[in-house]
Structure 1
Amino acid sequence: WFPFQEETRGCRMKDHSFNAFNAGLPGIRRWGLLALLVFSLPGAASAGASRGWFRPAGTVTIAEEPLAGAAGDFNGDGATDLAVALGTSHRVAILLGDGKGGFTPGARVSVARRPISLLSGDLTGDGVADLVVASLFGNRVTLLRGAGGGAFTEAAVFPVTAAPRALVRLTSPSPVTFRVAWVNIRGEVVVSDGFEGEGMHREAGDLPTDLAVGDFDGDGREDLAVTSFNDGALRLFLAAGDGSFAPPRRFEAGRRPVAVCPGDFDGDGHLDAVVADTGSNFEGFDGALLLFAGQGDGTFSPPIEILRGGVFLALACGDLDGDRIDDLVAATHPTEALTRTDLLLFSGGRGGALSPLQRLRSGDETRAILITEFTGDGRPDLVGFNAVSNTLSLFRNRLR
């Protein structure tokens, strides 16, 4: 029912029982709140064929409900490794990459209950990759300091009162600390500088579901975009010069938006945003992808419906084909066959269109998508984190 080229080789589907996950979102019966991870590698891929971007590159079985992930070189060998948030065991699992597309198990680090979002980077300034973990039920945001060799130790904890999710990293105003942000179930976006004090709190709508960072008004500062489930809105917090944020600008974003992904999808130099709206959720399979074209001044044109139908689970975006225009990947249940999740690939292009290119069969309940290079060829690849089938689906970029 949609014009995608299908690729299904290499991804095996398994039948697993589902451990219900409900983060307080009314109407969500099976999949709960979704983590979003976006890692863009601009210019990494060369332009090539317009169809058949990706091919399956294997499946990694990892029990205990993989909900989210992050990429980095955690053992210092130059190859991309993965960190995976495990929802039922309350741990972060490290998978060490060989630089050719293979992964072997590494350390497992215990964290607070229900880790749902991760980010990686050298947050402590020692040249070693660290991790930040948001634990939904544990009410904590935790800094795991990289110890080298793929090991991590708990270095700092930011106690929160209301179910954090959707971590993003911002540029810190201080060279000796880090700045991260998240949203919580109380309807706030929280910005923390090095986990000092209580952080900066801003109202972010009724039940915020996702958070993204980008410069939407062209002033060189990082702004924040938040989707909120219960009031069907996209909110934009424009950064002020003192490190704070202006009151949000509100945009209608469908019925129940769960994810937002920023990118320049039309090549005009202005940051756009795509929002995943679940519609009536599993009652009608009438979700939609909405494109908000940025005007470069902190506003958007009225949203354009890219696709209607299915239940959308997660988004990721970045320049996948090396044309300097961002592309989009969306995870969806396309039909009432709930054991099936597809990854839909759209190509950005001048003129404002996001063109459907490819459909990939992923595992069961792809809660997050990661764009990162793990095969050593310099091209951005894809990882799907499948919560119910307890697998990671790997897809290799085959553009030449």
Structure 2
Amino acid sequence: MIYTLLMIVLPASAAGFKVKALVPVDTFSASVAIADFDHDGKLDLAVACYDSNATLSVLIGNGDGTFQPQVRYPVGSGPYGVAAGDLDSDGNTDLVVTNYNDGTVSVLLGTGDGRFQPQMVFSGSSEATVVALGDYNGDGNLDLATSGQGAAILLGNGDGTFQTAMFPTSRYANSVVTGDFNRDGTLDVAFGFTYGSSGKGYIQTLLGNGDGSFTPGMVSSLGSHSTPYSIASGDLNHDGKLDLAATTFSVGVEVLIGRGDGSFFSEVPYTTPYTTYSLAMVDLDRDGNLDLAVADFLDPAHANVLIGKGDGTFLPAVTYDAKGKNGEGIGVGDFNRDGSPYIVVTHLSSENVSILLNTGGTLVHSRSSLNPSQVGQSVTFTAQVEQSIPNTGVPTGTVTFKDGATTLGAAPLVSGTAKFSTSALGQGTHTIVVSYSGDANFNPNSAKGLVQVVSP
């Protein structure tokens, strides 16, 4: 008989952040893309640096929250937005950059070893700051949507090249995000813009027709004097409908709950202490609810974290020092592979990006006392839960042991260890699931599966 011992995630709210390092890059780092560029299972960084050198900086991750020195790649004038994806369907991650000054898009195809080919250049929107990826015409190839004058759509050919840009709106788009907002199976686009002398902000959806064209959708109003610098999309209340969050100059963050038809309910504002710029939407504390991480444009810069309640509302913002000057871009990734995301903040006025580690990170190890065992023999499963960040304390809480969907028992952590013994494992193949609950200071986490062999 073969048993597989796994760990699962249960709700907790323990995310806290502190600066691990300021990683050198060129000046005016505007945005960051996070992906595995060299297939080593460790996340890497690509940083668009809006300076006179017109470069994209690539930093290969070491798997412990540190990075190798930057490698510069020439791109167009005023690189601002960057995104990562497989643009030529070869299994390697590629990069796309919007160039603010010359209205072009640079595409750098990855070689799979952390390096990139020289840029290919395509015409796009002038003054573009953001790029989003998605398959807008259903051909299996990634396409591009950029902010800027006209919110350009560039359809991909599947080989890393793109067709002539289309402009489904004449409005100046400050920000752009992709998602299926009306649940018709076709990707849509939402972009933020400011209109009129009052500086009032709006978000409009462009509903995808499935062939790469779009139909203008609903326009949602934001607060007055609230330019939507950045937009993120996700299901904030678990109703299967995509919601939006936008950073605004005057308020902080505004959340719009989706109706599922391409329109949204009225915005709900959440204040932050300082002027906000970019945001990311991700589960920071591993409780199954999406949270918000927001960079502010201040000296020194900060990362503002709003923990989601799972019903579309958020706890008040908690502010963490990011050390650098004038936060611009933000990204999230698990750089030390402990299951708890870090935050990355780029800075327009300092030659670095901030790496903020998640102090709620845990490492979980599991083992069996007797492997292989026989039917009727007692087997003790041990779960060891420890901090992944030094000097953050000892995890407490509960470990639950299950046989499939059936709970076998639970045990409290004592000095980071929980044990459960059973002699009732029958012959056959079972999956023994062991879950750490998390506590007020530490996030839930999972261990690799442990194969338990039980003979007749």
TM-score range, shorter chain: 0.7 to 0.9
> What percentage of residue pairs aligned between the two structures are identical?
27
> How far apart are the structure 1 equivalents of 2:142 and 2:205?
22
Aligned to 1:154: 118
Which of 349, 352, 359 is matched with 2:309 structurally?
349
Aligned to 2:213: 244
Aligned to 1:370: 331
C-alpha deviation, 1:350, in angstroms = 3.5
Secondary structure of the corresponding residue to residue 221 of structure 1? coil
Moved more, 255-264 or 92-101: 255-264
Which of 33, 56, 79 is matched with 2:19 structurally?
56
Which of 178, 200, 208 is matched with 2:142 structurally?
178
C-alpha deviation, 1:212, in angstroms = 0.5
Aligned to 2:48: 85
C-alpha deviation, 1:103, in angstroms = 0.3
Change (3 A) 1:329 1:170: same
- TM-score of the superposed pair, with normalisation by structure 1: 0.79
1:257 aligns with 2:218: no
Displaced runs of 4+ in structure 1, greater than 6 A?
none
Counterpart of 2:147, as a letter, is V
- 1:218-243 C-alpha deviation (Å, 9 max, x unpaired): 22222111011344211111112333
Aligned to 2:167: 201
- TM-score of the superposed pair, with normalisation by structure 2: 0.70
The answer to whether the 8 A contact 1:45-1:322 is kept is no
1:188 aligns with 2:151: yes
Gaps (5+ residues) in structure 1?
1-43, 280-286
- 1:88-131 C-alpha deviation (Å, 9 max, x unpaired): 12111111111111101143111111110111122111222111
Kindly report which structure 2 residues correspond to 1:165-314, keeping only aligned pairs within 5 A, or say none: 165-171=129-135, 173=137, 177-184=141-148, 186-194=149-157, 195-203=161-169, 205=171, 207-231=172-196, 232-254=201-223, 255=225, 256-279=227-250, 287-307=251-271, 310-314=274-278
Change (3 A) 1:188 1:101: closer
1:384 aligns with 2:314: no
C-alpha deviation, 1:46, in angstroms = 4.3
> How far apart are the structure 2 equivalents of 1:123 and 1:153?
13
Change (3 A) 1:80 1:196: closer
Secondary structure of the corresponding residue to residue 316 of structure 2? strand
> How far apart are the structure 2 equivalents of 1:350 and 1:76?
33
- 1:170-221 C-alpha deviation (Å, 9 max, x unpaired): 025465743111122x33343433344323211153x311001112112222
Change (3 A) 1:354 1:202: same
C-alpha deviation, 1:291, in angstroms = 1.2
Note the aligned Cα RMSD (angstroms). 2.3
> How far apart are the structure 2 equivalents of 1:83 and 1:295?
35
Secondary structure of the corresponding residue to residue 73 of structure 2? strand
> How far apart are the structure 2 equivalents of 1:227 and 1:276?
10
